[in-house]
Structure 1
């Protein structure tokens, strides 16, 4: 049904509800022959008679009864989307928005975003899509997501962005293991860093700037554990001598009496976390509201 005229669906629904070609034509402001023509197209499309003429009017077939709920809901969603685009008010919005985030983004930013999102649009839906940085630009161009929050730049010609916050990378490790080293009071040295055992996070999250710097400077480390997500790090680090590299904002939330933050023993540029969206969607009021809401939520959380 990829190329089906929505008017065919409207014809089907009204004919189902009224059982009358005449009333269907009146409600659609078309002629009765137009309704008959639409019905013939529907019959070809679904390979079924759909409606049978009886003394009581046009009686739906079994197939028509099966189709009615799905087509009714589909047309409702289309109408809601069109109405929200033309006369958008967050309080009445029933749209679903899709936001691509890493698990770090979920931990650090999502609570504040959700609070403001649902405060303004309680009937709207938000779907969080796990970020795959290599696909992020494609997702935006294809409309798979409304927006992406990431720390790596998306440089497409039609991609717009707004910087949400600035951060830098640090090391997080169990202080118990570092304290046994006589260099502990001097901070983490390059020798400690290179001979230590490390936990690495998948580059699909977009947090691979440190790896790039190490490769350029010829710094090698021993990766003893590879993970897909950052969120499990506290449990892992509490019981091991592993060293993790992660953004300071998240490291600070993980730090406790055992886990301590140490500066990297080599220089790595700070980075920006930005909201990205497709420029062509900016004209839609719902899209503008969604992006503005994210920006306001994150900005407010940063100033608390």
Structure 2
């Protein structure tokens, strides 16, 4: 069944998986939206599956569509012997990260004097194994986030190591220049659903942090880091955040960063991951350098 799908059809399914938009797919393939729909309907008849479901966020691929996307990428790599990496600047660049990182990366690209390809952000899932698979199958060009398990096909770079700081609104009614343990315990907190993976090499320090952290008054939990930052900026909630990220956020939003009490002195590690075949690509290299520069790494 799959053998009856030509490379044009596989490519169309792949691009639609990346963009989630028939119109954008048509633009990238230099086709009309009607032509894209025709190819998609042909693929549906051959495979006997819907492939995509229309949602409020765009065309959502099913498991079979993702399989076809992976098949196209593998086939293209076999035919071109890595030529996709050499032509990265001619296609969209797919980045998987947190919503807050999307904002900071976007600001860095906009402020840069260099020209970069179109960037497509993919929401990063919780499952580390799936993140690895997306990188391995070239569904994602660059993954920014917590460290992934070692994989021979993936290059891993340390993005930054940051101490913890407390983020508060510039107009916080009680906290001005310092945060005490009384402040930490009496104020409400906003936390990320996935959790910030703070660490400490000291055994007692880690236990103390976990105990203090478990006693905070959690008022809001969100799956979006950007939502948490906005909530903090316009309310009296507190957020524990990596210092490098906090400094960048404070430069563009009405928040300030303050050192935490010694009981909350922790560290956060962030990593950049990409397929090893992209190691020599100039666009990849320039984007990684830009990210490091933007956070003062």
For the aligned pair, the TM-score class normalised by the smaller chain equals 0.5 to 0.7
1:192 aligns with 2:187: no
Of the three residues 171, 176, 180, the one matched with 2:166 is: 171
* Residues 112, 81 of structure 1: alpha-carbon distance in 2 compared, 3 angstrom cutoff: farther
Q: Tell me by how many angstroms 1:299 deviates.
A: 3.4
Mapped to 1, the partners of 2:173 and 2:84 lie a distance apart of: 60
Contact 2:248 2:295 in 1 (8 A): no
Contact 2:85 2:278 in 1 (8 A): no
Mapped to 2, the partners of 1:79 and 1:148 lie a distance apart of: 21
1:270 aligns with 2:261: no
The Cα offsets for residues 26-66 of structure 1, whole Å up to 9 and x where unpaired, read as xxxxxxxxxxxxxxxxxxx97xxxxxxxxxxxxxxxxxxxx
Gaps of 5+ in 1: 10-44, 47-74
Q: Tell me by how many angstroms 1:255 deviates.
A: 3.8
Contact 1:167 1:248 in 2 (8 A): yes
- Structure showing greater radius of gyration is 1
Residue-pair matches, total: 223
The Cα offsets for residues 228-274 of structure 1, whole Å up to 9 and x where unpaired, read as 22323454334432111222234334448974322222244333332
Q: Tell me by how many angstroms 1:115 deviates.
A: 6.7
Contact 1:80 1:94 in 2 (8 A): no
1:106 aligns with 2:102: yes
Q: CA RMSD, aligned part only? A: 4.2
Alignment correspondent of 1:155: 149
* Residues 239, 108 of structure 1: alpha-carbon distance in 2 compared, 3 angstrom cutoff: closer
Matches within 5 A, 1:155-304: 155-158=149-152, 159-174=154-169, 176-179=172-175, 187-203=178-194, 207-209=196-198, 213=206, 217-219=210-212, 220-233=215-228, 235-255=230-250, 259-265=255-261, 266-279=263-276, 281-282=277-278, 288-302=281-295
Mapped to 2, the partners of 1:5 and 1:239 lie a distance apart of: 52
Contact 1:197 1:241 in 2 (8 A): yes
Mapped to 2, the partners of 1:278 and 1:294 lie a distance apart of: 14
* Residues 303, 172 of structure 1: alpha-carbon distance in 2 compared, 3 angstrom cutoff: closer
Q: Normalising by structure 2, what TM-score?
A: 0.59
